[in-house]
Amino acid sequence: MNCIFCAIAGKEIPSDIVFEDESVIAFRDISPAAPVHVLIIPKEHIASVREISGTNSGIIAHIYEIAVQLAKELGIFDKGFRMVTNCGEDGGQTVGHLHFHLLGGRSLKWPPG
């Protein structure tokens, strides 16, 4: 499968990894939209949050646990941060492998464009 995030998870493409365990990898976004911009992904190829069901939803809880840990480590826990997953065309998803953006380090606007 030709998936850039599978290639990052498999270390075929280098990335600035900030966390890794057996099921998840987190790395800095190549085009950061905030002072802290990390992508947290399951190592397993899941196309988007649309593919989440009772059989694989445990990974979402695990990813959020890691996000909180990373927010502390990266210094954005106290002032706050944003976790977001874009899904599909209207959601603005550009990479077809489930990923959560962890953003912080500046005051983020709402609503998004």
Q: SS3 for 74?
A: coil
Amino acid at 35: P
**Quick one: which of 37, 15, 50 has its CA closest to 84?**
37
Cβ atoms of 38 and 74 within 8 Å: the answer is yes
Stretch that binds ligand 5GP, among 23-31, 52-60, 61-69, 102-110 (CB under 6 A): 23-31
30 is a site residue for ligand 5GP (CB under 6 A): yes
Cβ atoms of 29 and 101 within 8 Å: the answer is yes
Judged by beta carbon, residue 95 or residue 108, the one nearer Zn ion is 95
Site for ligand 5GP, rule CB under 6 A: 4, 13, 15, 27, 29-31, 39, 86, 92-95
Site for Zn ion, rule CB under 5 A: 3, 5-6, 45, 97
Catalytic residue positions?
99
